[in-house]
Structures are given as structure tokens and as C-alpha cells.
Amino acid sequence: MSKAIRIQQQGGPEVLKWEDVQVGDPGPGEARVRHKACGLNFLDVYQRSGLYKIALPSGMGNEGAGVVEAVGAGVTHVKAGDRVAYAGGAPGAYSEVRTMPADRLVVLPEGISFETAAAMMLKGMTAQYLLRRTYKVQSGETILFHATAGGVGLIACQWLKALGATVIGTAGSEEKCALAKAHGAHHCINYRKENFVERV
């Protein structure tokens, strides 16, 4: 028997319950992962509160990292013992162990901790979507990026700098502006002190 945080109904934090769950062997195309860390996101709050509807009862959490315990038939890109991380799919990261589609898993390089991996996957995918799919940023362009001291913003600053773009960030304090600059923003506007539209 394993443990997981689950909800039977949507609502406030009081609906979160630490429950016994039975986790079986992975089926075809699946892997069983023992979590070492899970990410916490506003998405989780939206799903728990009812802002985003989900099928109930449900597990909680959309990104995690851990070690593969077993794989089902047809799974070849991960194996038992691999350090992995994931984001997306059905909620269930707030658990000790889960079985899930193996195609969601990426193998972690040794230099990335479970905690870092669990905290970066969804944010990294968001940055990738914005910088490479919504608009494919090119070297030499100047990009205004809001909330550059947040999880997505810090990844975006580094990526934009690596792409050769000039990054103008916004943040809500001098400390946050310093953090954004340390992660690649060339300029940062404290929107609590300045009108960023006029400044840009």
C-alpha cells in the first residue's frame, strides 16, 4: 500500500486527503515511478478549488521527479533505476508512487536534482511554448517579458539571453529586478516605481 494526496470533491485546502492507494504494476506503455519530489503550481490550486474542472475523485499535482521502479511492455526509453521527471498528464504527483504513461517521462542528467527537476518542468515547457512556438524569438530582437523574477521568467531570461535577444524584464521590487538581471535580463523595470510603458 502506498500514500497519496487525493480529493473527492473540489474546494478549499481542507478537501486534500492523505489516503492509502493501491499502485499496481505498469501496463503497456506505462512506468511506475517512486517520487522523490513534486512541483507545486497554481494549476494545482485551480484544479483543487474547482476553477478548472477535473474528473473526481482525483489525485493532485502535475509535475514530479523520482526513480522508475518498473516499466510495462513496449517502454524502451526508460528503465528501472532511471532518474526521471515529468509534467502534465493526469494529476497524481502528490504521491509516494504512481503508475503513469511512460512517454511523459524524461531521463534526468546527473547534475539536476530531483527537487530542481520537479520544480522546473512545467515552467520550462511554458517558457519553451512562449519563446519557440507562440513567437520564435531571433537573435538581435528585444523582448519585454513580465514577471521575470518568477519561475517561468527566470528560465525565459536565461533562454532569451542564450538566443541572443535583449531582455527587458519587469518585476515588483529592486530585489526581484536584481534576481532577473542575475539570470540574464539586460534591463529590469520595477513596475511599482515606474511606468514600464513609458520607460520602454
Reduced 3-state DSSP string for 157-172: HHHHHHHCCEEEEEEC
* Distance spanning both ends of the chain, measured CA to CA: 57
Q: How far is the C-alpha of 180 from the C-alpha of 176, rounded, in Å?
A: 6
**How much is the pTM?**
0.86
* 3-class DSSP state of 193: coil
> Element (H or E) spanning 155, and its range?
helix 151-163
pLDDT at res. 191: 97
CATH tag, 137-199: 3.40.50.720
pLDDT at res. 175: 98
pLDDT at res. 90: 93
* 3-class DSSP state of 31: strand
pLDDT at res. 165: 98
The tens-digit pLDDT sequence of the chain (200 residues) is 999 999 999 999 999 999 999 999 999 999 999 999 999 999 999 999 999 999 999 999 999 999 999 999 999 999 999 999 999 989 999 999 999 999 999 999 999 999 999 999 999 999 999 999 999 999 999 999 999 999 999 999 999 999 999 999 999 999 999 999 999 999 999 999 999 999 99
Residue 172, C-alpha cell as written in the block? 515588483
**CATH superfamily entry for domain 2-116:** Medium-chain alcohol dehydrogenases, catalytic domain (3.90.180.10)
Residue 130, C-alpha cell as written in the block? 512562449
Amino acid at 138: Q
The domain spans of the chain are: 2-116, 137-199
CB 11 within 8 Å of CB 50: yes
Place of cell 539586460: 186
Say if 2-116 and 137-199 have the same CATH topology: no
CB 161 within 8 Å of CB 184: yes
